[in-house]
A and B are shown apart, each in its own frame.
Chain A
Amino acid sequence: MYRIILTRLAQGLLTLLLASIIVFGATEILPGDVAEAILGQSRTEEALAALREEMGLNRPAIERYFDWLGGLLRGDLGTSLATDRPVADMIESRMWNTLRLALLAAAISVPLSLAFGLWSAMRAGGRVDKTLAMTTLALIAVPEFFIGLILMKVFAVELKWLSASANTRPYFDFWQNFRALALPVATLSFAVLAHMMRMTRSSVINIFTSPYMEMAALKGLPKRRLVIRHALPNALSPILTVIALNLSYMVSGVIIVETVFGVPGLTRLLVDAVTLRDIPLIQACAMIFGTVYILLNLLADVLSIMANPRLRYPK
């Protein structure tokens, strides 16, 4: 089993390396280079050449890739083109805001989606199941900004219960924090919750087509026991994968939520960097999100390997 886990870890590292190539490549193939982007319309050939020389853009791409990669490993994320500040500093000040949103949303949506998913599976074909299926189907298809705007309109603009701005201050007490964060966290949770719930349900229901589930049903066991004791352990691996996938999918949700509620977070930074074509900043943000994604998937895989009795207890 440890060999499988080690192989999987090595694969994760490889994917990370590939990801870095894609990030570097995608920002490298742009028409014109960073120097042109900096100088903009007012460039002259001499100025361009001088800047290229200064930034080392004349060197081959492969060389610059390894420079950049080495920098990443040392924690040196480069310098922002737009602000001239070190990228690491800019990211550090924003990271906490994003992380807090994501962690809160995960803490709410993961247990809820598991509970609802299993409940729905137990009632398969019944009214609860059908209602939940319809609701989540609709929720998945609704854009996050719509959910965010509706919540904002109702709870912040009309009722004035909660704050429309997610800006928090260090001196805020619990209730002030709650007022600020409730709406963005709810918006973020809704989208992933619906998706994770449906996948939990269908992973469990899929297991029900196996002969061993029929066998267990013919023992006269109640549905609760069938779902929790018999189906869940076998559905664990797909469920873990789905949770990892959705938590990393949250990144795109976070982008929207941060925009709607004006959170000064990492994804806002990324969107601004994209608008300003601030390449080093884009590269750094992309690598951070890519790493989180790969780590989450890795974690899900390792956990499902450890939960599989075939791998835990070989013949």
Chain B
Amino acid sequence: MTDVLTIKNLHVEGRPPGGDYVPIVKGVSLNVRKGEVLALIGESGSGKSTISLAAMGFARPGCRISRGEVWLNGRDIMALPPHDRHALRGDEVSYVAQSAAASFNPALRIGRQVIEAPLWHGAGDAATLTAAAVELYRKLDLPSPETVGEKFPHQVSGGQLQRLMAAMAMSCGPDLLILDEPTTALDVTTQIEVLKAFRDIIRDQGTAAIYVTHDLAVVAQVADRILVLKNGETVEEGPTDQILHAPRHDYTRTLMAAVRPAPHLVDHIDPAAAQAPVISVRNVTAGYGALTILSDVSVDVPAASVVGVIGESGCGKSTLARVVAGLTPLREGTVILDGEPAAPAVRDRPRAALKDCQIVFQMADTALNPRQRIGDILGRPLDFYKGLKGRERPRGWRSFWNSSICRASSRRGFPASCRAGRSSASTWPARSRRTPRSSSATRSPRRSTPSSPPG
């Protein structure tokens, strides 16, 4: 079968504000056939989103396609004048973004936005296109398909918006569909429904698709082929079954291992046999302003154990962690740390109690002050809690200081000069010295930040 899209030796560069261009994508080639779904997987910074946009001949602000060919329907669109290239978007190729809630214009009615691309490209008049759109809504299992187009984006739920965006992308009857992590922003339950809707519609229309994701569970459900990326380069490419079950490359194997639960990693403790809990949350109610987020929550964390807090976004996971740390004062209930009731607000807690409760934030790049040197950030807790400066610092800490994670040259640098994985380690310098009695981590430290050019 013929290729809808062929990308040859693609190079994309990005420029951080005030800096110079650095390569993001380094010579990636790929092809997608009609009716085929190609998944691009990789961790954040692997360039997968950038490649998917380059398939439209588009580079985000701050980035540029420096070299390579992008053949769409038999012609190299990079060789076209910008105006002609722009005319193909929303006609032959369309795009589904990560967050539908942010990708719908809040000031315009949904229906108008859905049929806008085909209407502009002259695929039909408003009445015909609206009728076709209603048909699509029906296929996507949207409630009240006749009237949903009359609504404004804020009147519709997130899961419905994501499906409406699929309708928006399909309304122009594209030959190539680009899906950039379209389900990551959704709750687990909604994710499955939306994913099914996407798969059905791709199969129905025989559209070629590029599916960008870091979620391997999703990949298994939608992709025909998988391209594994790392640091802007292809690691390996193959049919879904082969990549998932018989990966050839070491990196792919680590990627696969990371998602499979490893029961041997942590020794489970029988809750009944455990000693007195280090953290004990008792009937806590908390929230912001008039909003109550936690109501009557209780949990015990025994020594040397990990308690996972799981839930959909907005369910109060982070708020619970913030209540334990004293960042969000609780309204009712108590937090008991090490047998002692802790003051609700962090400023009322004694330094000793603060030392025993450390927090690791979700995003390392925002948790480190961009205007402080790495060395100063790392040294501050020791200085603050123990008054230890320079040579007084204990040996364990010095070995961490001298380890590869924190090489001499980067200590004098600012967080922007570090890579994401490494700066995440810096947010928790405590782990190399005496482990804090309790710690709360909000989310896994690895998370994608696709919109920002690398810093």
Contacts and interface: CB of A to CB of B under 8 A. Distances in A.
Interface of A: 210-222, 225, 229-230, 233-234, 309-310, 313, 315
16 contacts: A210-B102, A218-B56, A218-B89, A218-B95, A219-B89, A219-B90, A220-B87, A220-B89, A220-B91, A220-B120, A221-B120, A229-B108, A310-B106, A310-B154, A313-B151, A313-B155
Interface string B248-289: 000000000000000000000000000000000000000000
Given A219-B120, A221-B116, A211 B154 contact: no
Nearest to A307: B107
Tell me what chain B mostly uses at the interface: helix, strand, loop, or mixed. loop
Given A212-B102, A233-B108, A309-B154, A220 B86 contact: yes
Given A211-B97, A215-B95, A221 B103 contact: no
A220 B121 contact: yes
Given A219-B120, A220-B88, A220-B121, A212 B155 contact: no
B94 interface: yes
Given A220-B117, A220-B120, A315-B155, A234 B97 contact: no
B401 interface: no
B107 A309 contact: yes
A211 B94 contact: no
Contacts of A310: 106, 152, 154
Nearest to B83: A222
Contacts of B58: 217-218
B105 interface: yes
B299 to A, nearest CB: 33
A234 B94 contact: no
B99 interface: yes
B71 interface: no
Interface in B97-148: 97-99, 102-108, 116-117, 120-121
Contacts of A225: 120
A64 B132 CA distance: 72
Given A220-B88, A220-B91, A310-B152, A233 B107 contact: yes
A218 B106 contact: no
Given A220-B121, A225-B120, A230 B108 contact: yes
A215 B161 CA distance: 14
A213 B113 CA distance: 12
A229 B104 CA distance: 13
Nearest to B53: A218
A214 B99 CA distance: 12
A229 B117 CA distance: 13
Nearest to A215: B103
A105 B104 CA distance: 38
Given A218-B89, A219-B116, A220-B87, A313 B102 contact: no
Contacts of A210: 102
B153 to A, nearest CB: 9
A295 to B, nearest CB: 26
A218 B87 CA distance: 9
6 smallest CB-CB distances across A and B, nearest first, come from: A219-B90, A220-B89, A220-B90, A233-B107, A219-B117, A211-B102
B438 to A, nearest CB: 38
A152 to B, nearest CB: 44
A234 B89 contact: no
Contacts of A234: 105-107
Nearest to A213: B105
B86 A212 contact: no
Contacts of A220: 86-91, 117, 120-121
Contacts of B98: 211
A211 B103 contact: yes
A214 B103 CA distance: 8
Contacts of B88: 220
Given A219-B90, A221-B116, A234-B107, 13 more contacts: A211-B102, A212-B102, A215-B103, A218-B58, A218-B89, A218-B95, A219-B117, A220-B90, A220-B120, A221-B90, A230-B108, A310-B106, A313-B151
Nearest to B96: A215
B195 to A, nearest CB: 20
A216 B102 CA distance: 12
B57 to A, nearest CB: 10
A309 B117 CA distance: 22
Contacts of B120: 219-221, 225
Given A215-B95, A218-B89, A218-B95, A230 B105 contact: yes
Contacts of A213: 105
Contacts of B106: 212, 234, 309-310
Contacts of A216: 105, 116
